[in-house]
Amino acid sequence: MSDCVFCKIVAGEIPATVIDSSEHSLAFADISPRQPVHILVIPKSHHANVAELAAADPEALVDLVQLGSRIAAEHTNGSFRFTFNTGADAGQTVFHAHGHITARTPKESGGN
């Protein structure tokens, strides 16, 4: 989608601090972190929210959750949230599916 900010990040058209990627997914630092760890994990293809991603491409959803879990293991002490705001009333502001990995406690060794 040409006017989607996260599609532009996937395309490299706007900058992001990329953390990691996988076949179907990309992870990057949230531009406005609300916790000491705040990383977004998105599918590389456009789906409006996680429910639409699950319906359209379950393999990509599994890939996204696996990438997010790996990142959480690398960047937190093992306690984290992995949340998908779905719909404007739930606080979704970017309508390209994304999970937020947030944690109060970064992993002490191995960088953050």
What's the min distance (Å) between Cβ of 9 and Zn ion? Answer: 9
Q: Residue 37's binding partner, choosing from ligand 5GP, Zn ion, none, with beta-carbon cut-off 5 to 8 A by kind?
A: none
Marked catalytic residue, from 24, 96, 98, 100: 98
For residues 20 and 109, give the distance between their C-alpha atoms in angstroms, rounded to a whole number.
18
For residue 40, the minimal CB distance to ligand 5GP (Å) is: 6
Return the sign of the alpha-carbon dihedral for residues 10, 42, 64, 79: positive
- How many CA atoms, within 13 angstroms, populate the side-chain half-sphere of residue 25? 29
Alpha-carbon span 106 to 11, nearest angstrom: 29
Residues recorded for the chain: 112
Which residues would be at the binding site for ligand 5GP (CB under 6 A)? Answer: 5, 16, 28-32, 40, 85, 91-94
| Residue placing its CB nearer to ligand 5GP in the complex, 91 or 111 | 91
**Contact set with Zn ion (CB under 5 A):** 1, 4, 6-7, 46, 96
